[in-house]
Amino acid sequence: MALVTKSIKGTQDVLPGESHKWQYLEQAVLEQAKNYGYKEIRVPVFEHTELFQRGVGDTTDVVQKEMYTFEDKGGRSITLRPEGTAGVVRSYLEHGLFNEPAPMKLCYTISCYRYEKPQAGRLREFHQFGCECFGTQSPAADAEVISLINDIFTHLGLKNYDIQINSIGCPECRKTYHEALKAYFESKKADLCATCNDRLDRNPMRILDCKSPVCSDIAKDAPKVTDYLCEECENHFTSVKSYLDAMGISYQVNPTIVRGLDYYTKTVFEFVSTEIGAQGTICGGGRYDGLVEEVGGPKTPALGFAMGLERLMMLLKAQNVPFPEEKQCDLYIASMGEAANIKAAQIATDLRQEGFTVLYDIVGRSVKAQMKFANKVGAMFTAVLGDSELQEGKAKLKNMESGEETEISVEAFDEEFMRISINESLKELTDLGYETDIDVNSILSGNLF
């Protein structure tokens, strides 16, 4: 029978052998953000299209070429989110979070959708971790956000990445810069792509972000935004660098960074690696002091970042960064006969409530086949239950690594198994050189502390 369909181009499945790595990664980034005072927010996967047109910017590639937009049954234009910031800003305003004490720090892990050519590290459905910080215009906040990302990467064990920063100024000093850019690119107009010719009048800074090799080569000699910063923006950028220096965070000033979204102002930054191919940016962000007002809220300084989790996972694997081992089966109970099957179910239920991973046969395999399955799932302990074990009230618990067998009471199986399991864990700590005088009975009684 032929498969009805396969996954859509630009999407991917995360299979059970990999899912524990994703769980670890998602938990790790959330925990690091929590250390900085960020709280998780969850927003819808789709929004009204105008939110992204106003928030992201209608001159960006995202809005012009990449959004998944459709008309719903009510005739409304709906778009699957291409990024996280606009939706978080909408939620921040709709629920009056601007009335809370500043700064308001929000973080999220989300799926995003962009229609673009799939390639390594770039999918049509992808995942981001992001943080948004509302209500502060201090350069200390810019440096703290960069520090948070650096701490995440350090915690994960990443190496060999560059932190690149820039300032793209405020709307006022960008007016002069836009004039200089326009004058420069006008003389190259014949060689620019059609999209960049359209950008020339509307937003010439977008040309600096064009992926066309020809446009990128032309842009190399374009005027640098850092030469056109007003005094306030220059002082802000200088202060950001001072904070980073004080934190011991190495960075490079890269005047070509403008980011791909229209809402950025002043500080922008990227974390870049050369170890995952052409799509080397694994995280980017910056300040967006005008976005909240653009979406309909009060004037509110803000900043944030997003990191692509697929690219981050690629880099972790490329650097052979170790992941925690997937939790294995603590106990497999091989049972024979209806009465033994029921007893196995009862024991498993009791131990699962204590936090153990316990499996027993729900397929109808022979004992021999069950033991093969126990080996396959990496069971740390196995026990066989049959008529004789039930009659005698005793079963043999086998440590699958050492081969050691221990007689265990069927009726007090859960308590005796917990005692044996805890003793094994304490022994492992001792073997690793840790000294411990913890009493097993204290653990079982809940009186450890």
pLDDT tens, N- to C-terminus, the chain (449 residues):
788 999 999 999 999 999 999 999 999 999 999 999 999 999 999 999 999 998 887 767 788 789 999 999 999 999 999 999 999 999 999 999 999 999 999 999 999 999 988 877 789 999 999 999 999 999 999 999 999 999 999 999 999 999 999 999 998 998 899 899 899 999 888 899 988 888 888 888 888 878 788 998 998 889 999 999 999 999 999 999 999 999 999 999 998 888 766 788 999 999 999 887 766 899 999 999 999 999 999 999 999 999 999 999 999 999 999 999 888 899 999 999 999 999 999 999 999 999 999 999 999 999 999 999 999 999 999 999 999 999 999 999 999 999 999 999 999 999 999 989 877 765 654 555 555 555 555 545 554 44
Instruction: Please identify, among 271, 288, 318, the residue that sits at the C-terminal boundary of a domain.
Output: 318
Amino acid of residue 257: I
In sequence order, the 6+-apart residues with CB closer than 8 A to the CB of 335 are 341, 343, 344, 360, 361, 370, 384, 385, 386
One domain, residues 22 and 135? yes
Q: What pLDDT shows up at residue 446?
A: 53
Amino acid of residue 24: Y
Question: Do the bridges between strand 77-80 and strand 46-48 make them parallel or antiparallel, or are there none, so unpaired?
Answer: antiparallel
CA-wise closest residue to 284 among 322, 314, 249, 254: 254
Give me the sheet containing 394-399, strands edge to edge: 358-360, 331-335, 381-385, 394-399, 405-409
One domain, residues 76 and 126? yes
Question: Do the bridges between strand 381-385 and strand 331-335 make them parallel or antiparallel, or are there none, so unpaired?
Answer: parallel
Residue 180 lies in a domain: no
Q: What pLDDT shows up at residue 45?
A: 98
Q: What pLDDT shows up at residue 412?
A: 94
The values of phi and psi at residue 280, to 5°, are: -85, -10
SS3 content of the chain, % helix, strand, coil (to 5): 45, 20, 35
- The three-state secondary structure class of 399 is strand
For the chain, the domain total comes to 2
Q: Judge contact between 332 and 379, C-beta under 8 A.
A: yes
One domain, residues 313 and 344? no
CA distance 153 to 150: 5
Residue 298 lies in a domain: yes
Helix (H), strand (E) at residue 374 = helix 367-376
Range of the domain at 388: 331-445
Instruction: Please identify, among 268, 283, 318, the residue that sits at the C-terminal boundary of a domain.
Output: 318
Report pTM. 0.88
